[in-house]
Chains A and B, each alone.
Chain A
Amino acid sequence: MSQYDSGAAMRHIEERFRLVIQRGAGLSPGGNEPRYTLALYLGVSRGCCGKCGPTTPAFGMDDPARVPRPRKSPQSCTATNSSGGRSVPPGSSSETYSSVTAAATLRLSRHGGGSGNSHNGRAWQVLIDGSVVGSLRNNEAVDLPLEAGHHGVQVTSMRFLRSPKDSFDLAEGQVIGLSCRRRPRHPFIVQRSIILLVVSLFKHDVWISLIPDDTVEIDLEAGGNALRTEAADASRSPDSTRAITSVKEITSTPTLDGKGGPAALAVQQLTKRFGQRTAFSEVSFEVAYGEVFGFLGPNGAGKTTTVRTLGTLIAPTSGSATVAGIPLSPENGVEIRQRIAIMPEAPGLYLRLTVTENLEYFAGLYGLHNPGPRIEEALEAVNLANRAGDLCGGLSKGLRQRVGLARTLLSDPAVMFLDEPTSGLDPVAAREVHDLIIGLRQRGVTIFLTTHRLDEAEKLCDRVAIMNSTLRTVGTPAGLREQLFEKSLVVSTVEPVKGPEQLFTSIKGVESWRADGPASYVLSVSEPRAAAPEVVRGLVNAGADVLTVGETQHSLEDVYLELIAEDVEAHKP
């Protein structure tokens, strides 16, 4: 993942990736959110601008239909240059920049918040330039394709009360994200008419705030040769370029083994001793940005101590590491902790405070200003929005675990350490946590997952490390299976095969064999898919009645048990 300051950045694009454009919080004191737009330009080295339809492949993409297209006809197609303003003809030189995002799109999203509000269920009307163009329900988002130019948008919750009109300039290729939220009661309401004041006391969503969305996510396909982002002023705010704090490019396929990109975590020969006791020794591994990395091991293997060390809670005895790109050292503790989030095994909530109050506290510790929307989003992500006002002391263990997860989402961390996140959860809740982790992975969050549940690791993790004071192995679950277990076929027949030695050694692709029961045989093969038909043919030709032929399936659990059993054997006196 690369982080860019607002402004221009060039990048070669090799794979499909997701671009997350994020606006920082607390940009303007007093809550006056600056209005701004963001333009994304994708450079082309050949061909047209990508907006001329499927007949003209855009950037050599495999599936041009996946490229969002504007409503403009190919005949009127123009492309904006890197400065974001001047128009140039399509198909011009390689220096041309062309907008390929959902061209001229207004993305409206609605976040209702707290439970028990009857207005959450009511659709809000969306008016563009005075005309009703659609409706918006709570926790929904709609993309409205628009022509470039000046537009006005209003979102109303009640027929006779309208939100203030918000206007913006939309250029070719721009995606503006606006978040619609209920406007909280505010002293300036007093300046309005008395009737509205009275109404607002009972219905505080009579006006709706439209604020620039924190995040606009755009999925793009591979093939372009350069990416340029720049913040574009929407004419009303001269400071708008400052409003965009970062642009994250998140590759959909994490770079494994730390090759070809910066590592979110890089650990070299890390050791931690408590007096004579060694918690872990000479641990080295790398975790790529956007990767879900499983950290497995028996109790007392040093998993939690490793997490605490990388989270700057405890100091390593020796070795080095970088966490979220920052060298691990006591001086960098605050900076590292600002970029990461750790969910310990026990969520550690203040039981006399409500869910929201707990999250407000931690949002304050992360220095978030106006954390309300972020808290709402975090609670919605863990399906706890309807329990926001409950005291944590009244929640079940599973729900507390979810609050703990919501807490880790508050700071939008680059690296997230989850220590047994599904411990004590029922299967449904555990699945929800799995879905959340998958969602986070898609958003490009690096997740360091310690768990005892090997099925969980197998399902969620790109790679796993098996730890038992020292690092026993690192790799993909499939790679570890291949590494540890030979490929084999399991064959069962109705009757025992006559002369199995002669039969199996004569079959092409079979390297060795052993009996696994009276009429069951395990055959070592190098290519199970190629060998299976040969085996069946050989058995049939030999007059055997074949019941089943299947490839031996080894789970991550087998890998784990194999490695840990080796350790147990090694430590026997």
Chain B
Amino acid sequence: MMGLDATRVRAVVRKELRDFRRKRSIVATMCILPLFFLVEPVVTIFLVTPSTSGAALQKSLILPILYLLLIPTIMPSTLAAYSVVGEREQGTLEPLLTTPLRQQEFLLGKATSVMIPTLALSYTLFGVFLAAVRLFANSAVASAVFHDSPVILALLLLAPLMAGWGIVVGMAVSVRATEVRVAQQLGTLASLPPVAVIILLAVGVVSPTFSVALEFVVGLLVIDVLLLRFVSGMFDRERLVTGAKAA
């Protein structure tokens, strides 16, 4: 990733964000869909009885976290899946590739432009969830969320990593796909595997300890970086422009 030009990356990010703003359907989908993922955590938290013991209480918090983390995981995958194949379909990829833009700059710009609204929305909804807990949940639950469990830390750390996964996988699909619809469906499916880890936590197969969380965070970070490099390697200008693989 050496030799990246920040001006070019910024240009890609600025244009993408501008383009998102102009697509009202995208903005609406981005804002409305995550609200459904907020409902379950809030309901679950409110259903926890004050008499629930410490271990059971901790376990009951995992499912809300799972739902909340679905927001940064699923939300960016469709946008990322559109990023390359969408440009190709609308005929803007070739002019883009005729500029000095490097493929790493292009992919980094695209990833950043998807990451920004994803994190903004995710953290906003996390904030809404935490505010609801603070204001309306019983004190034992609120205490568990804010003091006794790493809920906030998990949300803060895992959100960008889960989003990163969703974005990189979405872009990988986008680089190879020949149609936007196929790319978006595959992208959404491919973004789900990290959720399995949280499900394992929820059903008790894996104990939610600090070291498990740390391993998961580090592991996801490494995978995200490696995947980004892999996607960059998959980016074949010739195939993207002509549809034929480079000799």
The 7 A-B residue pairs with the shortest CB-CB distance, nearest first, are A364-B11, A352-B22, A342-B98, A365-B99, A348-B95, A314-B238, A361-B15
Q: Is the CB of B100 within 8 A of A334?
A: yes
Q: Smallest Cβ distance from B224 to chain A, in angstroms?
A: 25
A362 CB within 8 Å of chain B: yes
Q: Is the CB of A314 within 8 A of B99?
A: no
B2 CB within 8 Å of chain A: no
Instruction: Tell which of B117-125, B183-191, B239-247 binds the partner.
Output: B239-247
A313 CB within 8 Å of chain B: yes
Which residue on A lies nearest to B102, using beta carbons? A334
Q: Smallest Cβ distance from A192 to chain B, in angstroms?
A: 31
Q: Contacting B238 at CB < 8 Å: which of A275, A315, A351?
A: A315
A528 CB within 8 Å of chain B: no
Rounded to whole angstroms, the CA-CA distance of A221 and B10 in the bound complex is 45
Q: Is the CB of A357 within 8 A of B238?
A: no
B148 CB within 8 Å of chain A: no
Rounded to whole angstroms, the CA-CA distance of A472 and B58 in the bound complex is 78
B54 CB within 8 Å of chain A: no
- Per-position contact with B for A362-379: 1 when CB-CB < 8 Å, else 0? 111111010000000000
Q: Is the CB of A315 within 8 A of B98?
A: no
7 contacts between A and B (CB under 8 A): A337-B98, A343-B95, A344-B94, A350-B15, A352-B23, A357-B18, A404-B95
Contacts of B242 in A (CB 8 A): 274, 305, 308, 314
Which residue on A lies nearest to B240, using beta carbons? A313
- Per-position contact with A for B216-247: 1 when CB-CB < 8 Å, else 0? 00000000000000000000011001101011
Q: Contacting A346 at CB < 8 Å: which of B12, B91, B100?
A: B91
Which residue on B lies nearest to A365, using beta carbons? B99
Q: Is the CB of B92 within 8 A of A365?
A: no
Rounded to whole angstroms, the CA-CA distance of A363 and B15 in the bound complex is 11
- The interface centre, meaning the residue of A340, A347, A366 with most chain B CB atoms within 10 A of its CB, is A366
Contacts of A367 in B (CB 8 A): 5, 7-8, 100
- Per-position contact with A for B148-177: 1 when CB-CB < 8 Å, else 0? 000000000000000000000000000000
Which residue on B lies nearest to A369, using beta carbons? B7
* B: contact size bracket: 20 to 34
Q: Which residues of B contact A (CB under 8 A)?
A: 5, 7-8, 10-12, 14-15, 18-19, 22-23, 90-102, 237-238, 241-242, 244, 246-247
| CB neighbors of B among A371-415 (8 A) | 404, 407
Contacts of A305 in B (CB 8 A): 242
Q: Contacting A337 at CB < 8 Å: which of B19, B93, B99, B244?
A: B99
Q: Is the CB of B11 within 8 A of A361?
A: yes
Q: Is the CB of B22 within 8 A of A353?
A: yes
Rounded to whole angstroms, the CA-CA distance of A348 and B11 in the bound complex is 17
A66 CB within 8 Å of chain B: no
Q: Is the CB of B95 within 8 A of A311?
A: no
Contacts of A365 in B (CB 8 A): 8, 11-12, 96, 99-101
* Additional A-B contact list (7), CB under 8 Å, known A364-B15, A369-B7: A274-B244, A314-B238, A334-B100, A342-B98, A351-B90, A352-B23, A364-B14
A514 CB within 8 Å of chain B: no
Rounded to whole angstroms, the CA-CA distance of A305 and B246 in the bound complex is 13
A58 CB within 8 Å of chain B: no
A317 CB within 8 Å of chain B: yes
Contacts of B238 in A (CB 8 A): 313-315
Q: Is the CB of A314 within 8 A of B246?
A: yes
Q: Smallest Cβ distance from B104 to chain A, in angstroms?
A: 11
Rounded to whole angstroms, the CA-CA distance of A472 and B209 in the bound complex is 74
A274-B242, A364-B7 known; A313-B91 Cβ under 8 A: no
A349 CB within 8 Å of chain B: yes
Contacts of A349 in B (CB 8 A): 92
Contacts of A363 in B (CB 8 A): 11
